């Protein structure tokens, strides 16, 4: 047995949630203890992925001995939709489907169609998006759009085929991801965002080629600082390339101007090309924490609710879903959980440094709850 084998039970700790005695009515506005509203829900639909990117699912850990969740443990599409409808009553208006790689979940367009039918208390449809590595997007884009998906975000860490194959660690060609982006554009799944995780010493030389490739295309390119998510990616601070340096490199060739955030709680700082060639974004969770207005919750594929990307434990909603709790009781349980939220890991890390204590609780893996 590989000494690096990690069991899901070790990275997905959660407290069993019971129906609360005190009701928390769903008013459309739910605030945590730092007065942050709940507006965004990221739903992982699978813990599996066909890539082995070193910053997310390194091959030496997620190998043939890795124990994924059995299908019976996963929430059904109907259970996911029920929870999404309940979250919407608390003010959630944006849902992002993630993984693992969400397009590996069979018949995902059925779930998309169910979610697209949900309305907020004001009668508006949800902003329904999906993050994907793009490997299956060319064949899925039209069906997803027809089912009601609004937009896609594609992860792409470089244009050089050798660099890209090395980073995904399964020898997958970059051309197929670019074909997926083209298919998503043709299907109307836009504006498309492309996310590049920048790891110093690995793919930083791809920053300018990526900017050149997507400038003027309508695609919003976003650069993400390499983050200390989970415990399996071997994160080191010296491999973080600060977003400020990314912006400076691009601005040397293409002058930039700062833009205002497009919505409260937006994770990316936006920059426009001064000549009208579109915009880029930088997500700086290591060097410029944005915890103060974080409005996102994350739901794992088997129904565990996490209040932070860097959480070490969650709240298991599945017993309520599969028990005799009604929607009001589940809404109250979610209300109690969010009202008690104080999470601000990135801000605290900036003050005291990253958590390197071996005795500290193991943080949940990105592949388990999505980025």
Average pLDDT for residues 117-126, to the nearest whole number?
97
Of 3.20.20.70, 3.40.50.150, 3.40.50.1110, 3.30.70.120, the CATH number of 8-369 is 3.20.20.70
How confident is the model at residue 100, as a pLDDT?
Answer: 93
> Does position 165 have pLDDT exceeding 80, yes or no?
yes
Whole-angstrom distance, CA of residue 95 vs CA of residue 370:
12
Q: Are strands 279-283 and 256-258 parallel, antiparallel or unpaired?
A: unpaired
Boundaries of every domain in the chain:
8-369
Quickly list H helices, 188-341.
Answer: 207-214, 243-253, 318-321, 327-339
Over the stretch 267-310, which tens digit does the pLDDT of each residue have? 889 999 999 999 999 998 777 777 888 999 999 999 999 998 88
Contact 35, 339 (CB under 8 A): no
C-beta of residue 295 within 8 angstroms of C-beta of residue 40: yes
**Cα–Cα separations (whole angstroms), residue 205 to 37, 157, 250:** 38, 11, 12
Q: What mean pLDDT, rounded, does the chain reach?
A: 89
For Cα atoms 314, 319, 321, give the angle at the middle one, nearest 5 degrees: 105
Output the pTM of the full model.
0.90
Pairing of strands 279-283, 220-225: parallel
Digit-coded pLDDT (tens) for 143-160? 999 999 999 999 999 999
């Amino acid at each position: 047995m590989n000494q690096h084998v990690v069991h899901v039970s070790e990275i997905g700790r959660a407290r069993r949630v019971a129906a609360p005695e005190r009701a928390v009515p769903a008013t459309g506005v739910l605030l945590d203890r730092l007065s942050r509203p709940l507006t965004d829900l990221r739903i992982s639909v699978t813990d599996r992925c066909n890539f082995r990117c070193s910053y997310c699912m390194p091959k030496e850990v997620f190998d043939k001995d890795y124990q994924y969740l059995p299908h019976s443990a996963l929430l059904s599409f109907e259970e996911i939709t029920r929870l999404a409808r309940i979250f919407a009553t608390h003010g959630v208006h944006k849902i992002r489907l993630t993984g693992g790689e969400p397009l590996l979940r069979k018949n995902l367009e059925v779930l998309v169609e169910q979610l697209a039918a949900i309305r907020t208390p004001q009668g508006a449809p949800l902003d329904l998006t999906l993050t994907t590595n793009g490997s299956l997007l060319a064949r899925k884009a039209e069906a997803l759009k027809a089912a009601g998906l609004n937009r896609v975000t594609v992860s792409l860490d470089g244009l050089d085929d050798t660099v890209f194959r090395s980073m995904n660690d399964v020898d997958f060609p970059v051309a197929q991801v670019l074909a997926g982006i083209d298919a998503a554009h043709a299907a109307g799944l836009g504006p498309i965002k492309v996310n590049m995780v920048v790891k110093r010493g690995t793919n930083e030389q791809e920053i300018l080629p990526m900017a050149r490739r997507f400038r003027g295309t309508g695609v919003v390119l976003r650069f993400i600082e390499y983050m200390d998510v989970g415990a399996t990616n071997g994160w080191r601070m010296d491999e973080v390339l600060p977003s400020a340096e990314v912006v400076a490199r691009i601005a040397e060739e293409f002058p930039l101007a700062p833009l205002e955030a497009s919505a409260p709680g937006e994770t990316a700082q936006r920059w426009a090309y001064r000549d009208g060639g579109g915009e880029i974004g930088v997500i700086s969770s290591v060097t410029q924490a944005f915890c103060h207005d974080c409005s996102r919750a994350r739901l794992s594929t088997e129904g565990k609710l996490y209040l932070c990307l860097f959480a070490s434990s969650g709240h298991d909603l599945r017993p309520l879903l599969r028990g005799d709790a009604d929607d009001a009781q589940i809404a109250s349980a979610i209300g109690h959980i969010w009202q008690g939220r104080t999470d601000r890991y990135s801000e605290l890390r900036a003050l005291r440094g990253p958590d390197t204590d071996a005795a500290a609780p193991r943080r949940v893996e990105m592949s388990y709850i999505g980025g």
